[in-house]
Structure 1
Amino acid sequence: MRRLRPGSLAGQLVLIVLAALIAGQSLSFLIFADERRAALRAANREQVLARTATLVRLLDETPPDLHEPILAASSSRQLRFQIGRESAVDIGENWHGRNRLARQLGELLDGNGGRPVLVDIRGDERRLENLIGFAPLDEATGRPRYWQGRRGPVGLVAAVQLGDGRWLNAETSFPTPPAWGLPNLVSLVLTAVLVGVAVVLAVRRLARPLARLAVAADALGRGEALPPLPEVGPADIRSTVRAFNRMQARLKRFVDDRTAMLAAVSHDLRTPITSLRLRAEFVEDDETRERMLDTLDEMQRMVEGTLAFAQGEAASEETRVVDLAALVESIVLDLTDLGADVAFASPGRLAYRCRPLGLRRALRNLIENAVRYGKRAQVSLASDRDGVRIVIEDEGPGIPPDMMERVFEPFVRLEGSRSRETGGIGLGLAIARSIVRGHGGDIRLENRPEGGLRVTIALPAAGDAWPAG
């Protein structure tokens, strides 16, 4: 059932409205059909009682030898008349003739002149047999023998005693009117179609701002600069879009302020470091001077790295669609030309919407780390409907499990194989993860069972894809 249930807002609303419509129409049809059946039964009963009263007067005024032709002419497929020595209605079951239909028939007979008038209802009220018509009289009782064994529509049985003492028995069965008919079905289908079309049009109009909001939120998660969304639609949707625009403006202002402050601090530190370097040159002790200059060099590298990091964060590079496979391959070829042992498994062309300069910097940092600390690197690229994965594997010593997350912190460096002499200042991984997260993705590190480190860059699906080949 979950697979058959539509996933879109419009589809679910149409399904709910149509289900409610069908349920409401079905209930209405059942109520109206019951009222219709009751009205038809009442009309048929009144007609039977009127014809019975008329026939009683006619039989009382005609000779007995004309009774049979009169009965034959008055009977029909649904209404049968017959004269017998016994009443077809049990007096005990009819409360001595005091039910409403008996009184109504008596009134039609002008108060019935004191003659017994009995009326009984048979059929779905009492669930008796379907009485098709009167059979020959039973020899033992003198009462008509009825067909047995079938249940059918509502039947009415009336018995009026004639002037000669015999009984005029009238019996009828009315077919139950169908609850559903072609007009009902046509009405239901037309109503469902019109309501469905109206709901689809209305929901599309309402869902259009939500669709724009979803696209904008996804783009914001990838770090794209977006203009404010138009505040259109119903009041609650306008309120949601307005809140999103305020959130986007606050986030941009916060990031810009923090980045500008970091860049300013890093830039301002360059002047005192340069001044200290000049003063260190006047230190007479060679060993002390060299240590001071080494410390200042390290501070200079840290400041320059921090400034580069801040400038990279502050850069407003526009997003565009590029061939991601070609971008990764160009990095691999550049490192190969420099003597690095790097291999790349290319899937063919793969279009991806990103900020190519920033993403190139992040990938180059990660691949250079793999080559520097793992001797050689293997890079692969794959994509599916969930996004893009770039995997970088090396053959180095790996990373201790308790350092998997700490290595992404600024200025954190590993000792041993990742020493100061062979490494940087500890901003490479921080910059790489910041750039990848700015694209809405993330970086995961894990040690390979056969040795070495595996770096997985997961990027969300974005942009138009070209066919691989």
Structure 2
Amino acid sequence: MRRFLATTLGQIVAIIASSMLATTLLLMALVYLQNMQAGAPWPWASAHRIVSLVDLLQGVPQDKLRKVTLLASAQRPNMQVTVQDGFVACEGSSSEAFVLGVALRSELPHLTGLSVHACGDADLASNIQVLVPIGRHVLEVRTGTLGYHPFRFGSPAFGAALFLFVSVVAMSLWAIWRVIHPLRRLSEKVEQFARDASPAPITEEGPSEIRSVARAFNSMQDRITGLIEARTRMLAAVSHDLRTPLTRMRLQLELPQGIDRQKLRRNIDEMQAMVSSALAFLGGARDSEAREWIDLDALLATLCDEYEATGASIAYEGPGHIRLLCQPNAIQRALGNLIDNAIDHGSMVEVRAWLDAEAIVVEVADDGPGIPEQRLQEVLEPFVRLDSSRRQRNGSIGLGLAIVDETAKAHGGRLVLANRETGGLLARMILPGQPSPASQ
């Protein structure tokens, strides 16, 4: 029982059962009190007749009391009235006798010695005895039940309360099951996810809050599964690509003429570039970077000048001024990856930027071999290479376009790849334009 009460179902059931029990007991008490109060007039009919009789007899001479009493008995068939010098009081008691005695004493406060008893006779017409002293005589009034039926547990009121209790508890249990069942399935899926990183998604059912939790869990599960898969692919790709520079370094160490420091440094730089690229993709640095207003046109012009200074054939065309609210380092890294990719596969690179309605468009075009149409979307996935056997630039593990695509999505934009009609690849990054602070 303690284990059951420790569960959500047990606690909710305990709360509902306790509240329903308290409500039922309160309802029974109210019905009882109402029955007592609503039945308050029930002793007053008999009490009024007895009080009237006492008032009448108090003004009658003692020798005529019996005659008047006989006349009063004839006029009150439901009451037996006699006057004697003394009577034996009954020894019984009942709630009706008690309530009638209270009523008579309140109406006849000046009388001492008034008493009401329950005789316990089988004859219901005379099971209550009222003794009233009148002078040297005693007036005995025998009357039956006063029409009062005390509240009993088998009464219809209790039956109605019990039906209410049972029906509400049954409906509450059904409603609780409707809530607990999705939560239990969610708990099972969480435990399954702890053992298996790719379980089936949870069915969104139950109340809106439970559906929202299930939807959030499915989304979290997809993100975690994607992250695990990406890390697995990253480890596989980095482990594969690190073998080449490590092999070259081992061969250089075994050469009899000694170590070529320049080649060793290039191999180390290549390995460092691979690791840095992987960490930049999986480390989440872009998420923590603050957004700032930059001049995208100036940034592109600077990048193209730096590449041209290294001997690359590159040209830039822009409007002269483009305001963009972004994460500067992430945007610069993405644009650098696009230009690096174009330079690596082509001999001539053209960069253009312009404002199109409410969007900012940046195009990077090369004259290389392009990408097969059926693989234009595939190359946006991390660690994907079109031909792993062909030459790759130092430090490349297939993350360049994936980083650009993720950066564009993080800024509310997208990356579109297309083959040029004249040959080569056209990479278009479309970013949403925002009004600058000066124009607001």
- Report the TM-score, using the length of structure 1 for normalisation: 0.39
Question: Quick one: higher RCO (CA 8 Å, sep 6+), 1 or 2?
Answer: 1
